[in-house]
């Protein structure tokens, strides 16, 4: 563990330089340790495992006192090529490939839900998943999905992605709303009708039912809009 901690510190840079490597198996082990530390730095609470494809056993590497390992990927999981270059006493270079498994809890649907459902915490749970098998924009906190509306149906145990969710409408077209308008130190309330759908924070057109004027207002809450952001 102390060795991995040292590697993790070195990995603040884009590459790591090590001392003696006496043969191809030593190089392979250093690559494995490097990729493990790289993933552990990015995901300290994850379950991590690393496999490195061994070099051709027919390949003979001269002992190296200054070996530089450079991952050729910005990712910390999945398939990662690594360039190994010896600087002294003999110059040589080889490429190795590691397969890094990073398993973390992600948000999944506890039950099947329909399109247009506003998700509650009871409908969500965390389950371990291998990041290498997921698309981008998966969620790791239930709070990021709770209160959001689904754009499409979800199956039970399905991983939920941010792209599948949207903020729910707070105001719908045709609904009666309260319009807040500040006039200096005075706040005026008026009855209005929403002329557009609006999510929280969105600007929409609203008809003032008293003056018959059309105003632009920002959605503050369900049924509440204001003429200032």
At 7 the pLDDT is 40
What tokens appear for 55 in the block? 């070099």
- Helices and strands (H, E) in the chain, number of each type: 2, 15
State the pTM of this model. Answer: 0.67
Question: pLDDT tens digits, residue range 206-223?
Answer: 999 999 999 999 999 889
Q: Tens digit of pLDDT per residue, the chain (229 long)?
A: 333 333 433 333 345 555 555 678 888 999 999 999 999 999 999 999 999 998 887 888 888 888 899 999 888 999 999 999 988 888 889 999 999 999 999 999 999 999 999 999 999 999 999 999 998 899 999 999 999 999 999 999 999 999 999 988 899 999 999 999 877 777 888 999 999 999 888 999 999 999 999 999 999 988 999 998 8
Q: How far apart are the first and last CA of the chain?
A: 52
Burial 59-81 (b: 16+ CB within 10 A, else e): eebeebeebebbbeeeebbeebe
Q: Distance (Å, rounded) from C-alpha 105 to C-alpha 129? A: 6
Q: Which one is the CATH code of 103-166: 3.40.50.970, 3.40.50.1010, 3.90.1210.10, 3.40.190.10?
A: 3.90.1210.10
At 2 the pLDDT is 38
Inter-residue contact 112 to 153 (CB < 8 Å) = yes
In this structure, CATH architecture of domain 169-226 = Roll (2.30)
At 36 the pLDDT is 95
At 161 the pLDDT is 96
């Amino acid at each position: 563990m102390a060795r991995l901690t040292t590697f993790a510190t070195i990995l603040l840079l884009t590459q790591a330089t090590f001392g003696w490597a006496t043969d191809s198996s030593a190089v392979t082990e250093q690559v494995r340790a490097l990729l493990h530390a790289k993933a552990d730095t990015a995901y300290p609470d994850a379950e991590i495992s690393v496999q490195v494809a061994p070099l051709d056993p027919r390949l003979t590497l001269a002992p190296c006192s200054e070996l530089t390992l450079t991952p050729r990927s910005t990712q910390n999981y999945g398939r990662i090529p690594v360039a190994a270059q010896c600087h002294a006493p003999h110059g040589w270079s080889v490429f190795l490939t590691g397969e890094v498994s990073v398993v973390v809890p992600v948000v999944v649907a506890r039950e099947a839900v329909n399109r247009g459902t506003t998700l509650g915490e009871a409908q969500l749970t965390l389950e371990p998943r291998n990041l290498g098998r997921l698309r981008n924009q998966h969620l790791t906190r239930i709070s990021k999905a709770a209160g959001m509306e689904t754009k499409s149906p979800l199956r039970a145990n399905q991983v939920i992605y941010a792209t599948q969710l949207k903020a729910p409408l707070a105001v719908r077209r045709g609904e009666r709303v309260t319009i807040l308008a500040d006039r200096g130190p005075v706040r005026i309330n008026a009855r209005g009708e929403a002329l557009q759908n609006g999510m929280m924070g969105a600007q929409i057109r609203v008809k003032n039912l008293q003056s018959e004027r059309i105003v632009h207002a920002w959605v503050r809450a369900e049924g509440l809009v204001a003429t200032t952001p």
